[in-house]
Amino acid sequence: MSKPPFLTLPDGVRAHRLVTSRGRFAVHDTGGGAAGTALLLPGFTGSKEDFIGLLAPLAAAGLRVVAVDGRGQFETGGPREESAYHLTELARDVHAVAAALDAGAGTPGGVHLLGHSLGGLVARTAVLQDAAPFASLTLMSSGPGAVSDSQQERVRLLLGAMETMSLAAIWEVMQQLDQSVGSAGQAPYSPQEAAETSAAMEEFLRRRWLSDVPEQLTVTGRHLLSEPDRVAEMAALPLPFHVVSGSEDDAWPVPWLDAMARRLGARRTVVPGAGHSPNAERPGATAEALAGFWLSLCPG
């Protein structure tokens, strides 16, 4: 489960519900941005807060940044029907959000789409549906198809637990496991990790987990287990690509991401000292890399 580096919104960032043709979506929105708009999609069990450390530096670089809770995630909510959470439906939501931002061809730079982890699978489905609204695609810690064998085992355990347990009961089990690891001395906390495990952060993580729609977790979890390799389809699109990851990743190993970047002809960024969530673990370096890519695509 990803953890934001902090929870307080930077100055100038507005939390609101964006009205679209497919419903209202909870967003963090920096507003403005002469250099274009970046639309950020979170990963499995994540939320818009995972990008909170990127908002100020990207806005300072001249970008409008909009981080969104997808359908069935945290503050957006969604129906209790599995059919609502197929990747094709989530991708249609992305198109609706992009249209609602009114940041198409008339805005310098256009809409730069970024998907983290599961959000990368949603983002690439959106551009394969129709790439026209997007100026670029960035895949962050998101690979060519299904996740690694070790991650598949974890996802299957979660999906199995959800068949017989409530989200609240699963949360309690996860907390017990975390405490047992900590008490055994196997996962010592750094100062940053200590801040992340504050009472406020833990309450946020609990509230976010309990707010997710179970059917969304079930269906998107299945996609993580079964998604095919669609890199060749993406490579045929007239889009600039950027592949970003930490220097270690247990969901899609770094060599997989290196190979995917080569197949896409993509810019490749590896953020030193980060794992599966460089946006949360090393937001400064991650924002610098993202801004460098997006600003390089600005006209003139």
> CB burial class (10 A; 0-12, 13-18, 19+) of residue 82?
middle
Q: What CA–CA distance (Å, rounded) separates 285 from 225?
A: 30
Give the model confidence (pLDDT) of 93-103 as tens digits.
Answer: 999 999 999 74
The string of pLDDT tens digits covering residues 197-236 is 588 999 999 999 999 999 999 999 999 999 999 999 999 9
pLDDT tens-digit profile of 103-154?
Answer: 443 445 579 999 999 999 999 999 999 999 999 999 999 999 999 999 999 9
Asked whether the predicted pLDDT for residue 185 surpasses 70, the reply is: no
Residue 186 is predicted with a pLDDT of: 31
CA 2 to chain centre: 10
Alpha carbons 242 and 289: distance in angstroms, whole number = 10
